[in-house]
Amino acid sequence: MSPNRPITPSTLSPKDLPWQIDWNKSKCTLCGQCTTVCPVKAIELGVFRKRKVKTPIGLMTPPENEYSIFYGIRQKTDPAFSCIGCGMCSMVCPNGAIMPRRNDEKDKLCFHKNAGGKPRTRGGRRNDNDSLLDRIKFIRISMLTDPALDAGRHEFDLRTLLGRVLPPEEGLKTFREQGWAPPVREIYPLIIGGMSFGALSPNMWEGLQMGVAYLNEEMGMPVRICTGEGGCPPRLLRSRFLKYVILQVASGYFGWDEIIHALPHMKEDPCAIEIKYGQGAKPGDGGLLMWHKVNKLIAAIRGVPAGVSLPSPPTHQTQYSIEESVAKMIQSMSMAWGFRVPVYPKISASSTSLAVLNNLTRNPYASGLAIDGEDGGTGAAYNVSMNHMGHPIASNIRDAYLNLARLGKQNEIPIFAGGGVGKNGNLAANAAALIMLGASGIQIGKYIMQAAAGCLGSESDRCNVCNIGVCPKGITSQDPRIYRRLDPEKVAERVVETYLSFDTELKKIIAPLGRSTSLPIGMSDALGINDKAAADRLSIKYVV
């Protein structure tokens, strides 16, 4: 290497990168598909020099060097362009000539992903494969008196309530006196959690909405989807499909104007209003839609200029305290829809979740609480927030439920759990575990991106470029050239398939427990775990 070759502290070799490109010269036809599709431009066409030693027969002529050049694929080593392992190149290569390979040692890139003094932001996941939920087992199989139920033949009623449920005496009194009772919706316990129109591509959004509509109208499953912050396309606000939608308002109030203005034109009430105070991906941090994704459409819906980053503050700055928020915001949102729509806050799981919950129990207008565990989130976040902040969901939900049980208010304020549900693919098992720990329902985000749209991200820092609008699958990009890769019809189909199979699996779990007419909320006697500390912490059985 020439001495004046620019080697800086951040000069890395391919070996230092988390992903290395295996490129097979003999298979490659140089069609250029991989370099075109690569979302981060990690590979480029390269010119290589080749030396061949020519040894002629006989002793007279000495061997010679013959030089030639050839073209091929070269991996960039600039940290800004490092391969993210998405594998799109291998998907488009007609000859199977290219494939990313994970580094066999800890990469050095992590020390350099802060060019310009900006810490790394990314979309996606917490990048930790460990999941306590996966370790919980269902240990109660009813074989005592009657044979267990048959998941395939018995009729099941897998629904949950969203909304404040009055205690029995009060409920009946209110009914008799024809008083105001808080609105309650009967919904499917698996909710597509808040992913904004802005975070997701229009095609992805449309696909999810279509899938949800199909599930409701054709399959009779009252599935609900939350918009996330950032508004809702005006057409949806004025359509009959709004009843399947939970509208989210967050501290940025993005898109909220549009919603308010659509109020007089709404044919249907939305399913509910979710007020976002916190999220699992970045507890204590606000929303973050980076400028890459703020195109004209998004700018119009959110009422902002195009091409600027849109961070929402972590706090609702118009409000003095969470107590005030609970009192004012929940009430004013309820009022906007004539007290016919459940309104509930969403917070990130933390050691103060209980305090928020306690506040809610005393507020007659609070309809529930969504708690998002540390694994939650799909949108952009600082690496450090995503990986190191927040509270896992299982123990947080458990504490919340047991706290309600102590007050005699379990299931009166339904708790919805999100964050890391199905992160290793075990969606039904994780959801059932959370329900039995006390959740009334489950919110999923990443799982549905993965299942319905083939998101490439994994829990080992693969892909994760959702934030910069270059999503290789077109799921989280606002660039039409990219998102047209995603067929909304196919997404809808996958949403339906995902829900139907979830439904079967959930039945397979709860039927042997002998449950069919009500969700086994809080049925912790069915749970076991092979970790004494976890068992004690969750008040479930310790099994080895």
Partner 1 sequence: MCRLFALTSQEPVSPMQAIKALDVMREGHDGSGVGLFLSGLSGPFEDLKDCPVLSGIFTTPGIRRLDQFMMDHDFMTKYKTSTRLSEDPPTGTPKRDVYLARAYEKPEAWKHLSPEKQEEEMVRIRLQLRRMGEANNDMTVFSFWPDTIMIKELGDPLAVGNYLQLDRKEFDARVVLAQGRQNTNYAINLYACHPFFIQGICTMTNGENTAFLPIREFLESSNILGYEGYQSDSEVFTHILHFTLKRLGLDIDAYKHIITPLKDRDLNNHPDGPFLKQLKETCRKLIIDGPNCIIGCLPDKSLFMVQDSKKLRPGVVGGRPGMYAFSSEVCGLDAVLPDRDVTKDIQPMHLDTVIVPPTRQEIRICRQTDPLHLQH
Choose which of 523, 529, 535, 538 interacts with partner 1 (CB under 8 A). 523
Binding part of the chain for ligand SF4, among 8-16, 176-184, 244-252, 473-481 by CB under 6 A, reads: 473-481
Secondary structure class of 214 (helix, strand, coil): helix
Q: Is 364 in the site for partner 1 (CB under 8 A)?
A: no
**Beta carbon of residue 396, minimum distance to partner 1 (angstroms, whole number):** 19
Choose the one of partner 1, ligand SF4, none that binds residue 169, judging by a C-beta under 5 to 8 angstroms depending on kind.
partner 1
**Beta carbon of residue 96, minimum distance to partner 1 (angstroms, whole number):** 52
Q: Which is nearer to partner 1, 330 or 523 (CB)?
A: 523
**Beta carbon of residue 26, minimum distance to ligand SF4 (angstroms, whole number):** 19
> For residue 138, what is the enclosing H or E element?
strand 137-138
Please give the sequence-ordered ranges of beta strands (E in DSSP) within 199-280, or none if there are none.
Answer: 225-226, 245-250, 272-276
Note whether 330 and 361 are within 8 A (CB): no
Q: Is 539 in the site for partner 1 (CB under 8 A)?
A: no
Choose the one of ligand SF4, partner 1, none that binds residue 86, judging by a C-beta under 5 to 8 angstroms depending on kind.
ligand SF4
Q: Which is nearer to partner 1, 35 or 411 (CB)?
A: 411
Q: For 92-103, what is the HEC assignment?
A: HCCCCCEEEEEC
Q: Which is nearer to partner 1, 411 or 458 (CB)?
A: 411
Q: Is 522 in the site for partner 1 (CB under 8 A)?
A: yes
User: To 10 degrees, the CA torsion angle through 240, 194, 476, 238?
Assistant: 20
Cβ neighbours, 10 Å, residue 397: 28
CA distance 272 to 269: 8
Q: Which is nearer to partner 1, 341 or 521 (CB)?
A: 521
User: To 10 degrees, the CA torsion angle through 103, 109, 111, 117?
Assistant: -160
Choose which of 17, 83, 93, 271 interacts with ligand SF4 (CB under 6 A). 83
Collect all residues with Cβ–Cβ distance below 8 Å to 316 and sequence separation of at least 6: 251, 275, 277, 325, 329
Q: Which is nearer to ligand SF4, 377 or 520 (CB)?
A: 377
Choose the one of ligand SF4, partner 1, none that binds residue 343, judging by a C-beta under 5 to 8 angstroms depending on kind.
none
Residues in the chain: 544
- The strand pairing partners of 20, in sequence order, are 101
C-alpha closest to that of 357 among 320, 402, 312: 402
Q: Which is nearer to partner 1, 188 or 483 (CB)?
A: 188
Binding part of the chain for partner 1, among 45-53, 295-303, 452-460, 510-518 by CB under 8 A, reads: 510-518
- Residue ranges in 113-172 that form contacts with partner 1 under rule CB under 8 A: 140, 142, 144-146, 149, 154-155, 157, 161, 165-172
The reply, when asked if residue 86 is annotated as ligand binding, is yes
CA distance 412 to 399: 16
* Nearest-5° Cα angle at 237, 231 to 241: 120
How are beta strands 43-54 and 343-348 bridged, if at all?
unpaired
Q: Is 69 in the site for partner 1 (CB under 8 A)?
A: no
The reply, when asked if residue 271 is annotated as ligand binding, is no
The reply, when asked if residue 455 is annotated as ligand binding, is no
Tokens representing 354 are 């209980």
Choose which of 390, 457, 522, 528 interacts with ligand SF4 (CB under 6 A). 457
Choose which of 516, 534, 541, 542 interacts with partner 1 (CB under 8 A). 516
User: To 10 degrees, the CA torsion angle through 450, 349, 132, 415?
Assistant: -80
Q: Is 525 in the site for partner 1 (CB under 8 A)?
A: yes
Sequential DSSP letters for 449-494: HHHHH----BTTTB---GGGT--TTSSS---HHHHTTS-HHHHHHH
Binding part of the chain for ligand SF4, among 5-13, 285-293, 347-355, 467-475 by CB under 6 A, reads: 467-475
365 Ramachandran zone, left/alpha/beta (phi>0; psi -120 to 50): alpha
Can you state the angle between helices 353-361 and 393-407, rounded to 10 degrees?
A: 30
Choose the one of ligand SF4, partner 1, none that binds residue 88, judging by a C-beta under 5 to 8 angstroms depending on kind.
ligand SF4
- Residue ranges in 88-147 that form contacts with ligand SF4 under rule CB under 6 A: 88-89, 100, 123-124
The reply, when asked if residue 89 is annotated as ligand binding, is yes
Collect all residues with Cβ–Cβ distance below 8 Å to 35 and sequence separation of at least 6: 41, 43, 44, 45, 73, 89
Q: Which is nearer to partner 1, 196 or 411 (CB)?
A: 411
- Residue ranges in 397-456 that form contacts with partner 1 under rule CB under 8 A: 405-411
Residues annotated within the binding site for [4Fe-4S] cluster are 83, 86, 89, 93
Interacting residues with ligand SF4 (CB under 6 A): 19, 21, 37-38, 40, 42-43, 83-89, 100, 123-124, 449, 455-457, 463-466, 471-473, 475-476
Interacting residues with partner 1 (CB under 8 A): 140, 142, 144-146, 149, 154-155, 157, 161, 165-172, 175-176, 181, 184, 186, 405-411, 513-518, 520-525
